[in-house]
Structure 1
Amino acid sequence: MVQNRRVDIALRLDGKHVLLTGVTGFVGEALLQLVLDEVPGLRLTLLVRPKGTTSAEARIAALLKKPIFSELVERAGGVEALMASRVTALEGDLADVPPLPDDLDALVHCAGDVSFDPPVDEGFRTNVVGTRDLLGRMAEAGGATATAHYVHISTAYVAGRRRGVVEEGPVTHGADLEAELAWGLAQRQSVEHRSRTAAVLEKERRKAEKAHSRAGLLTAARATEEARKEWVKRELVRLGTERARSLGWTDCYTFTKALGERVVEEHAKRRPCSIVRPSIIESALVRPHPGWIEGFKMAEPLILAYGRGELPEFPAAADTIVDIVPVDHVVAAIVAVLAHPPEIGAPAYFHVSSGYRNPLTFRNLYNNVRQYFDKHPFIASERGAVRLPDWRFPGAQTVERLLSTSERAHKVADYVIGHAPRGDRTRDLARKLDQQGRRLEFLRRYLDLYREYAQAELRYDDGHTLALFQALSAEDQVRFAFDTAVVDWAVYLQDIHCPAVTAPIRKLDERRLASKRPDRSKLKALVPTTGEGASTEPGRRSNIAAYFDMDGTLLSSNVIEGFLWLRLQELSGLDRLAQLGRVASKVPSMVQAERRDRSDFLRTVYREYAGARLDELEAIVDGHLTTHVLTRLSPDAVRRIREHRKAGHRTVLITGAVSPLTRPLAPLFDDIEAAELAVDDRGRCTGHLARSPLVGESRAAWIEDHAREHGIDLAASFAYADSHSDLPLLATVGNPVAVRPDVSLFRHARRSHWTIVDWASPDTAARPLNPALETLA
């Protein structure tokens, strides 16, 4: 029972010393603002971990500079004055709880892992071990702290997968705390070991090599290791979820929070302990101002996705209660609980929820959110307002079936796009397909995560919480309002919550529409490094270089075309037809070789030069192909090369094409690295190369060696290429540019925020790819 009911909260807490954890989080920040504003005689110690080189004290000072503290700071005479008079920093965190002051009157534990699907070891370490260590430090401190009032912020969802009314009391379950804790903490080492078994590694390596072998085996190896780490994370999440559900909880979060309560209940035998269980915490109803929220909580991603037209259905029954509570009600209840400690040995439980006395169903939530977006729609660029989905609440199985069908269709489409010829249309389709893929990933994650909550037929009895509220003075019922029965859901959702949630997104949309879209095709401006009229003489180059691929980047050509340009020129009409037929018959196998290993592909093509005289090939280029090669150069590419030269940069051509074909481009480049055909003692090509072709990672190694030799700063340098096989080359420099990229490189460039350009081919590129073919007509 609450003693001395009508004594104001501020008087009860006057002169008290309270430690708060989690003040940099959503609830903790709101709690700090409330007690600083309404309980002026309360002295606070804040447990905050340092972040990088930023100390705990500096983090608290930065926190107090936020807008919601502005009036408090102004009244106190500044952040430093407020901290000096009322706030002390205690550096540490739940992973390493420091010794606590020995004069604490209470401790409010708001910190914890609030992710619904944390890796299982992290969930146990934060929500169970962290709580135990904090309570252990209270006992060690001695003095008043040993018997201080401990207020534990839990969650209403520790009730798990049960149905019906949940009373404010201990959760009945048979889970063995120590056994589950030992198991949970041991899982990372176990999973790390399993991630290194042949079965897991072979699967991930095969996928990585299939995707990245053209770029190089080390690139594939790095991708394999990244995939292994992702597998570890997914497996730790999966293990936590499955163990939780096998014991009757929705997920690892609620499972570990319930076990954390067991730790508190054990310590309640020796000190006053209160457990506060909020339901789904959302934006403020009144204070610090209506709609105040930080970050995305549980409902926000779903509301935004619906407003974007990207959430076609939800796996909830229309009449199921979604239990939402404004954050200011939660922190007001915490302060009231803090001011009314229970007896030792009799822990107090308080549900801060709405579903028992003021239920909001999913149907009502949907109707209110839809009405809001009907009045205030998102704008889909020039297409106008986003079309909102009509929810019919068909049931979880139907929603799962629709999602699975969409995922299968996306997988098929992704395969087709990945094997389609490159081009503007292919890249545009890839971009749209990637957007759809991200939407499907979002739907899968949130539907899997929230399905249990959407189907939870629970009502949290909040009788203890209501009794506490009714015991407050009339003034405190205004200052510390937490009677959720007063919330008008239509007003809250349509006039407060949805506007607050969508406001930052609308600002981003306005900026996007103003700029039409972040322009990744805008190349970095080049400034002459040696002043106006910078010399283009090689001897006066700066320490910046620009590395260019040739085929597909500068020229609308490829290795096979280059071979035909050269070989068909020296053959008669019938021999040309025979050569064309022979090459055409090999194209399918060449394409497969190119996808497997570009080195093998180049060697296959260059075997066709066997018997040709190298000097005659050079003469053909000089006498017949120079004009043709130059007319196939992209004007945008030539302009960019000249910009680099004007800026004093060293220009370098690195290509898998044979060296004779690069002769027309020599005036544009300081250095040219091309494939050298091996010749016998008579000057005839053997069908082999003089040295291994530069492809994939070998190009990156060559560039690094070239940079060392010429004093090039690669971080300031540029590279231009079009193929996924050139990924290592592009990643070597600080300014990579993907030019008309294939789908794989296009996707990597978008993820990495690289510049993507579409250098148009010249009008003459519409002519036959091989000028020699003109004579066959």
Structure 2
Amino acid sequence: MKLLLHVSTAFVAGTQEGLLLERAFHNGETLREGYYLDIEEELQLVRNVKTELMEALSDSSEKLEKSKMKELGLKRACHFGWPNVYTFTKAMGEILLGQYKGELPIVIIRPTMVTSTFQDPFPGWIEGTRTIDALIVAYDEQALPCFLGDRNDIIDLIPADMVINAALVAMAVHWNGKLQVIYHVSSPCQNPLSVNDFVDSCFDYFSISPRILNGRVLQTRRPYLFKRYAFFRVCLMIIFSLPLMILEGFNLLLCGCFSRYCNDLNRRYNFFTLLVKLYAPYPFSKGRFDDSNLTWLRMETKICNVDGGNLNFDPKQISWHSYLISVHVPAVLKYAHMKKGTTLRRTSYSYSQ
């Protein structure tokens, strides 16, 4: 083996602020000062808890066991300073690679929020919806009345083909080296996208191609963005909690006549709070990922005669407004509707690179 390429995530940095460098984790390093991460101890803890659960629960409690293990994972992640299990385990993977790599050269690719393809194999290729895509789908369904964030914040998106191209070029450059190299594949240092521009682009798309129900065009509303969590909680109370309390009161008095409405509102509230819990740390992160190594790699493609023209990973070439309204947003909605088995409206807006 000449080289090992590992795809991680830039969000192994957690919720740190400021400029985040392309550096490796040290053995035992965590995001909380004074804490030491022993991966073997963590694995043993998982085995012990799972054994205890299997002894205490019946065979029919597999769902409960899964839920308990998720709770344990989140608890341990937060204990060491990571916001969720995904970033926690990605960081552990990087630490293990550093421990056992020996003389093998390691290239670690840390993309930020990966979106649909910019060019290859064609604009808008996507497989699955995650992070920012979930917010787009919720926006389309008008299930996103408000969210946490500042319109002046920067959203760190990068198309999938640029991540792949960067990985291919990195392999070509480092295949005969002896170092561990880390690349942040991100966009803000080269071509920043503000929250305001992102929201405006989504709104423009939904205005051009609105939802239609029973022949009636549904109005698209802009979500409110709150900088402060306290104001956000007040908004949730007004939109969800108070109406739900009133409905449940009437439902109790009228022997369950409003059960369907209560269940629907409760489902929407649970979905929305889950959305905030899972994705708020990513779109509105205050950290900025340094891409000095990636800038060097783009220059190195010319020296090493790597075809950088065909393997494009320069975010400066992206017009975010055109890309979002003509490529990414329709691609996300098409995939989401395909998974649900529903029909997606079509937009006549043309994409130009």
TM-score when normalising by structure 2: 0.84
Residue 132 of structure 2, aligned match among 299, 310, 319: 299
Deviations 1:381-422 (A, max 9, x none): 344223313424343332234335624642663465367457
Residue 329 of structure 1, aligned match among 147, 150, 162: 162
Residue 489 of structure 1, aligned match among 320, 345, 352: 320
Structure 2 vs 1, CA of residues 187 and 380 (structure 1 numbering), >3 Å: closer, same or farther? farther
- Aligned counterpart, 2:87: 254
Gaps of 5+ in 1: 1-144, 197-224, 513-777
- Aligned counterpart, 2:19: 165
- Aligned counterpart, 2:331: 500
C-alpha contact 2:132 2:283 (8 A) present in aligned 1: no
Counterpart CA distance in 2 for 1:285 and 1:415 is 51
- Aligned counterpart, 1:58: none
C-alpha contact 1:350 1:464 (8 A) present in aligned 2: yes
- Aligned counterpart, 2:281: 452
Gaps of 5+ in 2: 30-35, 346-353
Structure 2 vs 1, CA of residues 391 and 189 (structure 1 numbering), >3 Å: closer, same or farther? same
- Aligned counterpart, 1:441: 270
Matching of residues 210-229 of structure 1 within 5 Å: 228-229=61-62
Counterpart CA distance in 2 for 1:170 and 1:179 is 21
- Aligned counterpart, 2:45: 183
Counterpart CA distance in 2 for 1:510 and 1:153 is 34
Indicate the SS of the match to 2:125. coil
Matching of residues 568-579 of structure 1 within 5 Å: none
Q: Does 1:153 align with 2:12?
A: no
Letter paired with 1:165: L
Counterpart CA distance in 2 for 1:161 and 1:183 is 25
Q: CA deviation at 1:461?
A: 0.9
Deviations 1:192-233 (A, max 9, x none): 45657xxxxxxxxxxxxxxxxxxxxxxxxxxxx97x544433
Structure 2 vs 1, CA of residues 477 and 388 (structure 1 numbering), >3 Å: closer, same or farther? same
Q: CA deviation at 1:298?
A: 1.6
Letter paired with 2:37: A
Of 331-340 and 450-459, more deviation after overlay is shown by 450-459
Structure 2 vs 1, CA of residues 191 and 418 (structure 1 numbering), >3 Å: closer, same or farther? farther
Q: CA deviation at 1:435?
A: 3.0
Structure 2 vs 1, CA of residues 417 and 157 (structure 1 numbering), >3 Å: closer, same or farther? same
Letter paired with 2:126: I
Letter paired with 1:280: M
Q: Could you say what the CA RMSD is over the residues aligned between the two structures, in angstroms?
A: 2.8
Q: CA deviation at 1:348?
A: 0.9
Residue 316 of structure 1, aligned match among 131, 145, 149: 149
Structure 2 vs 1, CA of residues 239 and 366 (structure 1 numbering), >3 Å: closer, same or farther? same
Q: Does 1:235 align with 2:97?
A: no
Counterpart CA distance in 1 for 2:315 and 2:249 is 52
Indicate the SS of the match to 1:471. helix
C-alpha contact 1:396 1:451 (8 A) present in aligned 2: no
Indicate the SS of the match to 2:154. coil
Matching of residues 409-488 of structure 1 within 5 Å: 409-410=243-244, 413-414=247-248, 416-417=250-251, 420-421=254-255, 426=257, 429-473=258-302, 476-488=307-319
Structure 2 vs 1, CA of residues 459 and 237 (structure 1 numbering), >3 Å: closer, same or farther? same
Indicate the SS of the match to 2:193. coil
Indicate the SS of the match to 1:302. helix
Structure 2 vs 1, CA of residues 475 and 500 (structure 1 numbering), >3 Å: closer, same or farther? same
Look at both structures and tell me which one has the larger radius of gyration over its CA atoms: 1
C-alpha contact 2:153 2:195 (8 A) present in aligned 1: yes
Structure 2 vs 1, CA of residues 263 and 229 (structure 1 numbering), >3 Å: closer, same or farther? same
Indicate the SS of the match to 1:453. coil
Structure 2 vs 1, CA of residues 229 and 398 (structure 1 numbering), >3 Å: closer, same or farther? farther
Structure 2 vs 1, CA of residues 193 and 399 (structure 1 numbering), >3 Å: closer, same or farther? farther
Structure 2 vs 1, CA of residues 465 and 358 (structure 1 numbering), >3 Å: closer, same or farther? same
C-alpha contact 1:163 1:458 (8 A) present in aligned 2: yes
Letter paired with 1:275: I
Indicate the SS of the match to 1:472. helix
Counterpart CA distance in 2 for 1:167 and 1:303 is 29
Structure 2 vs 1, CA of residues 502 and 190 (structure 1 numbering), >3 Å: closer, same or farther? same
TM-score when normalising by structure 1: 0.40
Residue 195 of structure 2, aligned match among 362, 377, 382: 362
Counterpart CA distance in 2 for 1:376 and 1:313 is 22
C-alpha contact 1:154 1:261 (8 A) present in aligned 2: yes
Counterpart CA distance in 2 for 1:185 and 1:279 is 31
Letter paired with 1:464: N
Structure 2 vs 1, CA of residues 191 and 457 (structure 1 numbering), >3 Å: closer, same or farther? farther
Structure 2 vs 1, CA of residues 300 and 511 (structure 1 numbering), >3 Å: closer, same or farther? closer
Counterpart CA distance in 1 for 2:154 and 2:196 is 9
Q: CA deviation at 1:150?
A: 0.7
C-alpha contact 2:206 2:220 (8 A) present in aligned 1: no
Q: CA deviation at 1:370?
A: 1.2
Deviations 1:485-534 (A, max 9, x none): 2211111111111121223566855489xxxxxxxxxxxxxxxxxxxxxx
C-alpha contact 1:322 1:361 (8 A) present in aligned 2: yes
Counterpart CA distance in 1 for 2:284 and 2:54 is 34
C-alpha contact 2:20 2:289 (8 A) present in aligned 1: yes
Matching of residues 351-390 of structure 1 within 5 Å: 351-390=184-223
Identity of aligned residues (%): 27
Counterpart CA distance in 2 for 1:232 and 1:401 is 34
Counterpart CA distance in 1 for 2:243 and 2:51 is 37
Q: Which has the higher contact order (CA 8 A, sep 6+)?
A: 2
Letter paired with 2:103: R
Indicate the SS of the match to 1:271. coil
Structure 2 vs 1, CA of residues 383 and 457 (structure 1 numbering), >3 Å: closer, same or farther? same
Counterpart CA distance in 1 for 2:178 and 2:246 is 62
Counterpart CA distance in 2 for 1:167 and 1:511 is 41
Q: Does 1:349 align with 2:182?
A: yes
C-alpha contact 1:268 1:346 (8 A) present in aligned 2: no
Counterpart CA distance in 2 for 1:343 and 1:286 is 29
Counterpart CA distance in 1 for 2:57 and 2:342 is 42
C-alpha contact 2:212 2:218 (8 A) present in aligned 1: yes
